Amino acid sequence: MGVTAAVELVDSSQRDAVLDMVSEVIRRHLWPLAPGGPDGQGWPLGRALDDRLIETAIARVPGVRSVAPVRLFQRSTRGRNWLPVAEDRTGRGLITLSAWQLPELAMLSVGIGSTSSTSLPPGAEGAGNGAGGLAIPVVPELC
C-alpha cells in the first residue's frame, strides 16, 4: 500500500522535524510488530486499513495544526502502477485485508498544505512510467 498525507503546521520553523515525526507515526501505526500498530501491540491480522485512523494518529503529533484527508493507494493487479483506493460516499478510504494479511507500506509521501496528493510524487517507484521494481522490506534498527 501507499499513503499520502499533508499537514498544516503550528510553527513553520519546525517544518522538517514535524514532517519527520508524521512519517514516523504513519510507519509505526502500520507496523505489524509491537510497539507498532494502532494499539501498540502490532497490527492485528486481517484488520482493515482505514484512512481516518491514520489521520487520527497524525493529528496527535506535536506541531500539527490540522491534517488533510489521507489518501491510500494500492498496486494494480499487474503490480506496476499505483491506484488510489476508492472512497465511499463519506470520503473514507478503506483497504480490506484477508484474515492472514498484514499491511505493507511500500510508498509514503508527507507534505505541507490543505490537501494530500492524489497521485504519487514524481520518481516514486512504479509511478505511471511502467517501471517495475522489487520491494524489499527494511527493518528499522531498535535499541
pLDDT digits (tens, 9 = 90+) for 31-44: 999 999 988 999 99
Q: What is the pTM of this model?
A: 0.78
pLDDT confidence tier of residue 134, bands split at 50, 70 and 90 = low
- Cα gap 30→57, rounded to integer Å: 10
pLDDT digits (tens, 9 = 90+) for 78-110: 767 788 888 888 888 889 889 999 998 988 989
Flag whether pLDDT at 54 surpasses 80.
yes
- Cα gap 94→71, rounded to integer Å: 10
**All 3 cell numbers of residue 102?**
498484514
- Residue 2's region, left for phi above 0, alpha for psi from -120 to 50, else beta, is beta
pLDDT at 125: 45
pLDDT at 113: 84
